[in-house]
Amino acid sequence: MTGFRLGYVPGVTPAKWSRMWTERLPRIPLELVQVSAAEAPELVRRAELDAVLLRLPIDRIGLHAIPLYVEQTVVVVPKDHVITAADEITTDDLADELMLHPEDDVLDWAHPPGRLIEDRPARTADAVELVAMGTGLLVVPQSLARLHHRKDLTYRPLTGVPESQVALSWPEDQTGELVEHLIGIVRGRTVNSSRGPALPKTKAKAKPQPRPAPQKKPRRRR
């Protein structure tokens, strides 16, 4: 039977939803495909993926997108940086700091904090390497900070900046039953929810009937 290809961007963990899919639709394989944030929307438009878990904002032309949850924004710093003395950081704390702004940045900035380094790294992973070298600091969603964890780096929550929003996206003209099942899973609907399509029913096994107790034969009179 044809499977379902679900893409996901770095930092998003679809394992729980994948397990639920397998429990509810065991005959339809779910293939998980990690993709970059930049290419995710186009892969769905070209039908190379049936749906994708990505971060908003995106160009929604030809796509549906339903927000699922919001990620906390953090600043990644060397472990010996003075900022680590605080439990939480504000944008004012970064005013004099050199900041890295990778080209694959997923946050919707109006004015990024700090003094931006003009030479922008291409990827978040490259920016993390530069933080470790002492070149600058980096602001990312918390899941990306965890993904690129290093022993010589840490991070602190950052207030007063945009948060990233993870969403499920799929083509506007491809909202079939499998997509509806996936929507139900990521939104936490139960199997018996009336809002989703009906799952194929399995025949219940007939319970074995107890055997009748053997009847005693009447004794013959002599």
CATH code at 153?
3.40.190.10
pLDDT attached to residue 210: 61
Same domain, 146 and 83: yes
What is the percent of the chain with per-residue pLDDT over 70, rounded to a whole number?
A: 85
Q: Which three-class secondary structure state does DSSP give residue 178? A: helix
33, 5 in Cβ contact below 8 A? yes
Q: What would the mean pLDDT of 9-25 be, rounded to a whole number?
A: 95
Residue 201 lies in a domain: no
Same domain, 87 and 8: no
179, 50 in Cβ contact below 8 A? yes
Residue 156 belongs to what domain range? 73-162
Amino acid (1-letter code) at residue 7: G
Q: Which three-class secondary structure state does DSSP give residue 23? A: helix
Same domain, 77 and 136: yes
How many domains would you assign to the chain? 2
Segment 71-113, tens digit of pLDDT: 999 999 999 999 999 999 999 999 999 999 999 888 888 788 9
Q: What would the mean pLDDT of 211-221 be, rounded to a whole number?
A: 59
Same domain, 158 and 78: yes
Residue 204 lies in a domain: no
Q: For residue 211, what pLDDT band results from cuts at 50, 70 and 90?
A: low
At CA 178, angle to CA 172 and CA 179, rounded to 5?
Answer: 35
Residue 210 lies in a domain: no
SS3 content of the chain, % helix, strand, coil (to 5): 20, 25, 55
Q: For residue 189, what pLDDT band results from cuts at 50, 70 and 90?
A: confident
Cα separation, 141 vs 163, in Å, equals: 7
| Domain boundary, last residue among 128, 162, 196 | 162
